[in-house]
Amino acid sequence: MPHEMITFISDYGYTAIFILVFSQEIGIPNPVPNELVLLLSGYLSFKGVLFFPAIILTAVAADITGTSLLYFTFYFFGKYILSNKPRWLPVSTKRINKLGVKIGSGRLWVIFLCRITPFIRGYTSVISGLLQIKPGLFMPVAFLSAATWSTVCIITGRLLAPHLFSGV
């Protein structure tokens, strides 16, 4: 991991964590994946730079905020967006429908599994919104998956810190 990223998160702390996790949740590519950001945050809690429970709260808040934004955008405006989809959009309607069948078939446990799987996390919120899965069903699963995913990454970083970042 670049030393600059360690310095950035050390200097800006919880704000940096929130911005990096939130921006990736809404689809803005980051130079460093969220998993590494959270591993590094766990390391910084091990070193005493950041407070462990505050890191978890920040990461979960950023995740659920980004997920909610995507979900509600596609819940309310998804049909319009798909019917007026620009040609440059890299995801085809066929691929969205294929993911929709997978997510829609099992509902809650499939949504949970997809939300803790890297690379398809954001698509899960989009598809759930497009499938009109009720907010009362989606939001608790989104919160549980955000808490699980964030906590596991941060704890892993904290536990493996002496081994992963020994040269930092």
- Give pLDDT, residue 99: 65
Instruction: Answer yes or no: are the C-beta atoms of 110 and 102 closer than 8 Å.
Output: yes
Number of domains in the chain: 1
Report, as an integer, the average pLDDT of 124-146: 90
SS3 (DSSP) at 34: helix
Q: Is the pLDDT of residue 106 over 80?
A: no
Report, as an integer, the average pLDDT of 14-32: 90
- Give pLDDT, residue 4: 81
* Residue 105 banded pLDDT, cuts 50, 70, 90: low
Which two three-digit tokens encode residue 98? 């294929």
Q: Which residue has the tokens 């019917």?
A: 83
In whole angstroms, what is the distance from residue 67 CA to residue 19 CA?
13
From 51-55, 127-131, 146-150, 162-166, the region with the lowest mean pLDDT: 162-166
SS3 (DSSP) at 51: coil
- Give pLDDT, residue 1: 53
Which two three-digit tokens encode residue 83? 């019917």
Report, as an integer, the average pLDDT of 148-159: 95
Category of 132 on φ-ψ map: left (φ > 0), alpha (ψ -120 to 50) or beta = left
> Which structural domain range is residue 48 located in?
3-164
Which two three-digit tokens encode residue 25? 């949740």
